[in-house]
Structure 1
Amino acid sequence: MKSHRGLAFAIVLASVMCMAVTSAAAQGYPVKPVRVLIASSAGSNPDTVTRAIAGDLSRVWGQQVVVDNRAGAGGNIGAEIAARAPADGYSLFMAHTNHTINASLYRKLTYDLASDFVPISLVALSPFVATVHPSVPVRSLRDLIALARSRPGDLTYASAGTGSGTFFCAEYFNGMAGVKMLHVAYKGGGPALTAIVSGETSVYFTPIATGMPHVRAGKLRALGVTSAKRLPETPDLPAIAETLPGYEMQSWAGMMAPTKTPQPIIDSVHKTIVVVLAMPDVRKRMSELGYIVVGGGPDALAAHIRTETERYAKLIRQIGLPQQ
């Protein structure tokens, strides 16, 4: 009996000590540089979002925020590295759209977004812009649909690769508009953008941050944004949903951490992100880059991941895209 009581006391004492250590660690967090892993290359949407807030996170924390790009395999390499990182709050992960796509696109993944990570904050959304090369004789989405219907399989659309956000934007458009534009896949957003600007392809659903400078320079013609409504920064540019009701496709970026990261640290990181995203200069900076600031908490990010995973699973089935 005494041995059982001793064991029970030891377990309770260990639990209390663990909670105390965790709480103390959270109160002093961070005491060293914080690494944010990004599973994409420099200049990508999640990279741009992370760098837009990294400096201010660093100033609030008083510690350096190191942006660590680990691109490859559609975001799977970086996600696996992040999932295996120490769960101490010093290795965070900026998850993004590809990770909800990959859940259905790949037969087997070495990580699970739901079980290997804990959500912290849905940081931002980023719409795409439907653009055409100026040589394409259309001025509106209705014009594009009419042209595509009159020339089935003739118009080409560029993408950053099969299974990318730019690919799904166009395929979703194909399905809703009842047209068939021919897919031309490139190895990344940079080559795809170069192709549409040079006139190598006809249509490209470009990330707004990288595409709008070319629109303003007259090198591309913008027809509509993929957000549900028009954006304040481009009030004259219609939402595609005005022509195709229900159309909405946006990339997202959300901060996560390896599972078993102490809850007090998760709470601390979330609160800091909310503070940073409320800063007028940060909001202005992100708005100018074409991002919609969200700042939602763990529950909002978890719900968004579930919704997007289901959306892409359905779209992949409709397209008949084979698993990799």
Structure 2
Amino acid sequence: MTQATRRALLSGAAGLLAAPAALRAQEPNYPSRPVTVVVPWAAGGSTDAFARVLAGRLSTDLGQGFVIDNRTGANGTIGLTSAARARPDGHTVIVLPNSTYAVAPHLYPLGFEVGKAFAGVGLLVSMPMFMLVGRASPAKTLADYVAMAKQPGAKLTYANSGIGATSHLATEMLLQAAGIEVADVGYRGGGPAIQGVVAGETGMLFMPAAAVMGLMASGDLRALAVASPRRSPLAPEVPTFAEQGYPAVEIIEHIAMLAPAGTPRPILETLNAACRAALTAPDMKPALDRQVVTPEARPLAEWPAYLAAESRRMAEIVHVRNIRIQ
């Protein structure tokens, strides 16, 4: 080992050991007490599971507990509203999916704009969205499915895990792009919707990877396409919609962290740096892999433009497809 290499290794090791102290140094008095992490979805779901992994790491790195507070209902808007009213001192944050921060505001009368009521800590992770059919489905490809839907008298159905879910919007994107109509069968959440397709009660659904990888591996569900710009390394054999002639069908499940508007910039920077350090730490990779998420860990400055673009795109789908809370 050369002297230069030895110095580089020692420097890197020192940086890792010093990381928690360096993060706290950005705002030395923060956090001064436990931080409430509002999760506007039920315990046990993919957002909650990821939030718990991240909260555990932040508790260690920042020296105070990050405590999960599940506040569910109305596509996450109950928890969203609660977090918006919290004191903007960095001791309340919210971890939530894009169905809550970019879709729900176009379906529910919140009384505030997300971009004004919150400051973005940043986009944290993403996961791909698959279009799936059951084992017994005659559709082996997306082209097969579209052809079936266009047959005279076709009575195909899809499982809807919730109005305004990203999986619901992905389905509406496909119906719009392919010029087909498929009947909506409502379910109370992702788990029942998945089981409905596995059991043959309904014929198709879209679902984020975390919920379906095991069933894809067993063959109980078959993926016809992935709604990402590129094939997913989780299932590289599954083509994108763009590859199959439907480039407009593109949607990714994102999870972000927000803080109430007015939270001091140094605290936002501390949280952003801590999240980025946690999500890129080599020893966190196994836990993140189990959650089937891909770290995004984007800089603080990127949030406003991302939120505006994502919200605008979701609003267009809601409008064009006339999606309403019933």
Match of 1:63 in 2: 64
TM-score (norm 1): 0.87
Which of 299, 307, 319 is the matching residue for 2:309?
307
C-alpha separation between the residues in 2 aligned to 1:123 and 1:49? 10
C-alpha separation between the residues in 1 aligned to 2:76 and 2:257? 15
Measured at CA, do residues 322 and 210 of structure 1 come closer, stay the same or move farther in structure 2, by a change above 3 Å? Answer: closer
Measured at CA, do residues 248 and 25 of structure 1 come closer, stay the same or move farther in structure 2, by a change above 3 Å? Answer: closer
* Counterpart residue identity of residue 254, structure 1: A
1:210 to partner: Cα distance: 0.7
Match of 1:12 in 2: none
Match of 1:291 in 2: 293
* Counterpart residue identity of residue 311, structure 1: R
Look up the SS of the partner of 1:281 in the other structure. helix
Match of 2:280 in 1: 278
Which of 252, 255, 262 is the matching residue for 2:254?
252
1:123/1:295 contact within 8 Å kept:
yes
Match of 2:21 in 1: none
1:222 to partner: Cα distance: 1.5
The share of aligned pairs that are identical, in percent, is: 32
Matched, 1:194 2:203: no
Matched, 1:206 2:220: no
1:96/1:254 contact within 8 Å kept:
yes
Match of 1:263 in 2: 265
Matched, 1:80 2:72: no
Residue deviations 1:51-82 (CA, integer Å, cap 9, x gap)? 23222111111222111111101111001110
2:170/2:249 contact within 8 Å kept:
no
Residue deviations 1:5-52 (CA, integer Å, cap 9, x gap)? xxxxxxxxxxxxxxxxxx999213223221110111123332233123
1:321 to partner: Cα distance: 2.4
Match of 1:178 in 2: 179
Larger radius of gyration: 1
Measured at CA, do residues 301 and 151 of structure 1 come closer, stay the same or move farther in structure 2, by a change above 3 Å? Answer: farther
Which consecutive segments of 4 or more residues in structure 1 shift more than 6 A?
none
Look up the SS of the partner of 2:297 in the other structure. strand
Look up the SS of the partner of 1:63 in the other structure. coil
Structure-to-structure mapping, 1:57-136, within 5 angstroms? 57-98=58-99, 99-106=101-108, 108-136=109-137
Residue deviations 1:139-173 (CA, integer Å, cap 9, x gap)? 11111111111256511100112222111111101
Look up the SS of the partner of 2:305 in the other structure. helix
Look up the SS of the partner of 1:28 in the other structure. coil
Look up the SS of the partner of 1:173 in the other structure. helix
Measured at CA, do residues 135 and 273 of structure 1 come closer, stay the same or move farther in structure 2, by a change above 3 Å? Answer: same
C-alpha separation between the residues in 1 aligned to 2:211 and 2:325? 29
Residue deviations 1:74-121 (CA, integer Å, cap 9, x gap)? 111001110111111111111321221122222x21442111110111
2:128/2:232 contact within 8 Å kept:
no
TM-score (norm 2): 0.87
Match of 2:149 in 1: 148
Match of 1:8 in 2: none
C-alpha separation between the residues in 1 aligned to 2:111 and 2:306? 22
Segments of 5+ residues of structure 2 without an aligned counterpart are 1-23
Match of 1:6 in 2: none
Look up the SS of the partner of 1:237 in the other structure. coil
Residue deviations 1:249-296 (CA, integer Å, cap 9, x gap)? 112111110111111111111111111111123234324433221111
Look up the SS of the partner of 1:27 in the other structure. coil
1:322 to partner: Cα distance: 3.7
Segments of 5+ residues of structure 1 without an aligned counterpart are 1-22
